[in-house]
Amino acid sequence: KAGVTQTPRYLIKTRGQQVTLSCSPISGHRSVSWYQQTPGQGLQFLFEYFSETQRNKGNFPGRFSGRQFSNSRSEMNVSTLELGDSALYLCASSLALAGGSVTDTQYFGPGTRLTVL
């Protein structure tokens, strides 16, 4: 079974631009979560989508948004990019039968490395 895939793997943008990142979960997985990883702040939760609905949201500004499609694939968008948005963006998927449970393992993709110049 294929793992979580993320595209693109690397991205270079300039300040003020916007960017869209894509995540395809493991087949059959219904929940997709997004995380930002930086050297200074570590891994921080951005948001989680389940059945095309945002279920949880981390403490990030409104410039960060996302959506999930009916096939569970997810995209996240960052508008008006700032230098501080340079990071590794990771998505994770989990089975989430019946909405999810504490026994669910999250499986992470390889990440998208975003550099903002």
Partner 1 sequence: KQEVTQIPAALSVPEGENLVLNCSFTDSAIYNLQWFRQDPGKGLTSLLLIQSSQREQTSGRLNASLDKSSGRSTLYIAASQPGDSATYLCAVPSDFAGNMLTFGGGTRLMVKP
Query: Looking at 12-20, 37-45, 63-71, 72-80, which segment touches partner 1 (CB under 8 A)?
Result: 37-45
Instruction: Decide the pairing of beta strands 112-116 and 10-13.
Output: parallel
Q: What are phi and psi of 53, to 5 degrees?
A: -120, 140
Query: Looking at 11-19, 62-70, 75-83, 109-117, which segment touches partner 1 (CB under 8 A)?
Result: 109-117
C-beta of 20 vs 108, nearer to partner 1: 108
Decide if residue 102 touches partner 1 (CB under 8 A): yes
Task: Residue 91: name the closest of 10, 15, 4, 9 by CA.
Answer: 4
Decide if residue 28 touches partner 1 (CB under 8 A): no
- Among 22, 58, 65, 67, interactor with partner 1 by CB under 8 A: 58
Alpha-carbon span 60 to 62, nearest angstrom? 7
